Chain A
């Protein structure tokens, strides 16, 4: 990752605007995850109670006029606007209305009266400038009515951090804003991992004309696609570690499926399951605290069962014991339960079990649910499982609510929609859809709105959403 240094810009500095709100706690250093649980303290208010705050997020101000800075000022403003709009916690002043307010020459010269006329409760005043051989980005959330600085951050980084226009600065401030103003764990810095055959390469082996599938990652909004594996084989079903520094996936590079863990920033590869051609391991799922991996194992006697191991491969424990197949586990947020798929009743359905193997119960298969697969468990405070189910024509994404014990469809019924993966704040779902002809990765909100296509090249499957 590009190194970014984060400085909390708390009480003094370049502006004459007075800081009166609580200062944010120190930023975690780059590369470490935000805390898993939702922050529940709203420490900053920006608008009146009773309605969503109206936020203006115009382009950032380029304080130096080199090409990279000018481009970054536009990009960071645009990406921040998109990131904040994505969570639908604010009313976003539309861009064409924002453009009626001329951009000030510097943050200190912001014309709050103009923003008041527009009806904004708050405005994000941002700037970008070169500093030495690096760059400094500042973002300030200002309450329009009073001129108070509610949240101010200064970020610095190398010039390389502007290679994609500086998107990471926008993502970081968006998460900060959601955390302090809405008590919401934002996902603007998260990433998707998936399998793709876009390289067009062929698998080396005894049968010809088989597409290579490798593991790729991309920002949650579709930017910065990056290939992670290069083996000429079938590699599928990646899952992120909770700290976002590793991806576990299933690879057939040894001519049988086995679980590999790629520590993507260290260039290290592990094979914790130590499978063989007799005992094959696949479809791993990380527990939310990162300590354990649940997976499926195809045993020498032909059984297909759920196992758990520590992330270093020790402590392997069998959880299910049934002659029919038990596959695709997913962890509950507390790590005390697993949901998985079993076809023990004749068709695949979703089951929940305690991690010690007790308390097995089925949660799908009533009514028209003929075939259900690939459960993904949401994050607190929601307690839901999304899965795909065949009903009507193709497959649709369903949402099971533990509180009511019922399921409802959330995808729109267009094409076949499968393989859901929850975002770490439980508010969005990545999935695959063949509505354009080939399978592609999409995201949508958990109410089914906000459909966004993420991939376009090749066939792309098995999405996973990082923490």
Chain B
């Protein structure tokens, strides 16, 4: 991560050491049982009582600070390790099924977390329809995903839509395995 400031790295190292030290916290020490009074054994002068153990003050370790790579990366890097999942669709359909709703719920959380991100929802279709009509189908898929996100409270002006029809398949295969991957709404961060 080229963007990390050096002082943050140092802070992390100090933190790591501190956390490591805290991990070696002394277990509670059992008080030794004093030897029985009287001379049980001749010659015993009485072992000296060990000093009272000093209980170390327990410190609550600080909340671990993890540096979040997504918050400071440039957009290309964000998209290469995208926190968004695509929504997949049935053949010739733009309906969001329960699996899609779940995915959109997670995507909505990501959008709430990174409140300055603007995303483009790309609509895609598999290769089986005609090129021209699939441009319209892709648009409907992107719009459906967008509408659901808006219903989850994501502001509309952070969500753009674009249709690529069947022009950009994610899987170039010619079977249902490939086609099902290509019928999707795909999320791309376009600005922040």
List residues of chain A with CB within 8 A of the CB of B161. Answer: 298, 302
Q: Does B188 contact A (CB under 8 A)?
A: yes
List residues of chain B with CB within 8 A of the CB of A257. Answer: 135, 162-163
Whether A388 contacts B130 by the Cβ 8 Å rule is yes
How many angstroms from the CA of A371 to the CA of B129 in the assembled complex?
8
List residues of chain A with CB within 8 A of the CB of B146. Answer: 302
Q: Which of B79, B139, B167 is close to A234, meaning CB atoms less than 8 Å apart?
A: B167
List residues of chain A with CB within 8 A of the CB of B147. Answer: 302
**CB nearest to A434 among chain B residues:** B127
Known A-B contacts A206-B190, A256-B162, A257-B162; A237 and B132 likewise in contact (beta carbons under 8 Å):
yes
Give the size range of A's interface with the partner: 35 or more
Q: Does B136 contact A (CB under 8 A)?
A: yes
Can you list 6 A-B contacts with CB-CB less than 8 angstroms, sorted by A residue number?
A207-B186, A207-B188, A234-B167, A277-B162, A280-B162, A283-B132
List residues of chain B with CB within 8 A of the CB of A236. Answer: 131, 167
**CB nearest to A375 among chain B residues:** B132
List residues of chain B with CB within 8 A of the CB of A256. Answer: 160, 162
B93-111 near A? 1/0 per residue, CB < 8 Å: 0000000000000000000
Other A-B contacts than A206-B188, A236-B131, 6 sampled, CB-CB below 8 A, are A206-B189, A256-B160, A277-B160, A302-B143, A371-B130, A418-B130
Most chain A beta-carbon contacts within 10 A, residue among B92, B133, B161: B133
Q: Does B117 contact A (CB under 8 A)?
A: no
Known A-B contacts A206-B79, A206-B189, A206-B190; A296 and B136 likewise in contact (beta carbons under 8 Å):
yes
How many angstroms from the CA of A417 to the CA of B103 in the assembled complex?
37
Give the size range of B's interface with the partner: 20 to 34
**What's the nearest-Cβ distance from chain A to residue B133, in Å?**
5
How many angstroms from the CA of A257 to the CA of B168 in the assembled complex?
14
Q: Does A157 contact B (CB under 8 A)?
A: no
Whether A255 contacts B132 by the Cβ 8 Å rule is no
Q: Does B75 contact A (CB under 8 A)?
A: yes
- Which B residues from 167 to 190 make CB contacts under 8 A with A? 167-168, 186, 188-190
Whether B190 contacts A373 by the Cβ 8 Å rule is no
- Which A residues from 318 to 332 make CB contacts under 8 A with B? 325, 327-328
Q: Does A282 contact B (CB under 8 A)?
A: yes
Q: Does A262 contact B (CB under 8 A)?
A: no
Most chain B beta-carbon contacts within 10 A, residue among A298, A325, A371, A461: A298
Whether A327 contacts B79 by the Cβ 8 Å rule is no
Known A-B contacts A206-B190, A298-B139, A302-B147; A374 and B132 likewise in contact (beta carbons under 8 Å):
yes
Known A-B contacts A234-B164, A255-B120; A304 and B139 likewise in contact (beta carbons under 8 Å):
yes
B65-107 near A? 1/0 per residue, CB < 8 Å: 0000000000110010000000000001000000000000000
Whether A325 contacts B137 by the Cβ 8 Å rule is yes
How many angstroms from the CA of A419 to the CA of B132 in the assembled complex?
8
Known A-B contacts A234-B164, A234-B167; A206 and B75 likewise in contact (beta carbons under 8 Å):
yes
List residues of chain B with CB within 8 A of the CB of A210. Answer: 168
How many angstroms from the CA of A277 to the CA of B157 in the assembled complex?
11
**What's the nearest-Cβ distance from chain A to residue B162, in Å?**
5
Q: Does A93 contact B (CB under 8 A)?
A: no
Whether B132 contacts A373 by the Cβ 8 Å rule is yes
**What's the nearest-Cβ distance from chain A to residue B172, in Å?**
10
How many angstroms from the CA of A371 to the CA of B75 in the assembled complex?
40
A180-222 near B? 1/0 per residue, CB < 8 Å: 0000000000000000000000000011001101000000000
Q: Does A120 contact B (CB under 8 A)?
A: no
Q: Does A55 contact B (CB under 8 A)?
A: no
- Which A residues from 239 to 288 make CB contacts under 8 A with B? 252, 255-257, 277-278, 280, 282-283
Q: Does A343 contact B (CB under 8 A)?
A: yes
How many angstroms from the CA of A278 to the CA of B168 in the assembled complex?
21
List residues of chain B with CB within 8 A of the CB of A211. Answer: 168
Whether B163 contacts A374 by the Cβ 8 Å rule is no
How many angstroms from the CA of A252 to the CA of B120 in the assembled complex?
13
Whether B167 contacts A374 by the Cβ 8 Å rule is no
Known A-B contacts A302-B147, A327-B136; A206 and B168 likewise in contact (beta carbons under 8 Å):
no
List residues of chain B with CB within 8 A of the CB of A302. Answer: 139-140, 143, 146-147, 161
A137-179 near B? 1/0 per residue, CB < 8 Å: 0000000000000000000000000000000000000000000
Whether B160 contacts A278 by the Cβ 8 Å rule is yes
**CB nearest to B136 among chain A residues:** A325
